[in-house]
Homo-oligomer: A and B are copies of this chain.
């Protein structure tokens, strides 16, 4: 899966690189060479004026689903983007795992709609929105792990082998294993597949 991110800032955001180690960060549409394989095209909007420009070129991105990244997304923007053919719209500073989840959904033909928007669409003060999130927040996996463990967990959950994680973080494979054991212990899991389900399980609604 190939990820193209278009942003006027050549450095992009750190989380992007963590979310997609093999990301291609470019400054203009023209630099996007439509690969034959599957992928996602992300466009960061620096101003709302840019929206029209971006959406106008969506048609040229033949196979790739397009996700709009905005620093201050509002619901109107999301609606516009979706109506114009984008597969989703989310905050530029979304956590790496959220970005990966968005990628999973849109690369399979789905649409990504954030929970806040969905809440307005449904238009009710559902008990679920009011209550469940709190219960769940008490057992967010992120809170149980150290920074390094979280980093390892994300890479593994996205399909990397221990060897690949080790190379990517410049540590020994042995250390990766140590982190994995700690992760399993802390989260009460059995293996990396369960970890993936735990981390990627919260998909579809941000």
Contact = CB atoms under 8 A, between A and B. Distances in A.
Contact of A204 (B83, B112, B191): B112
A203 interface: yes
Contacts of A105: 201-205
B82 A109 contact: no
Given A122-B82, A196-B196, A115 B111 contact: yes
Contact of A135 (B63, B161, B204, B205): B63
A192 interface: yes
B63 A128 contact: no
A83 B122 contact: yes
Contact of A197 (B86, B136, B158): B158
Contact of A193 (B63, B109, B193): B193
A110 interface: yes
Contacts of A191: 161
A133 B109 contact: yes
A124 interface: yes
A201 to B, nearest CB: 4
A165 interface: no
A19 B6 CA distance: 40
Interface string A170-206: 0000000000000000000011111011001111110
Contacts of A128: 65, 82, 85-87, 109, 111
Interface residues of A, number: 50
A107 B196 CA distance: 15
A133 B197 CA distance: 25
A204 B203 contact: yes
Contacts of A203: 101, 104-105, 110, 200, 203-204
B104 A201 contact: yes
Contacts of A58: 127
B159 A65 contact: no
Interface string A90-104: 000000000001001
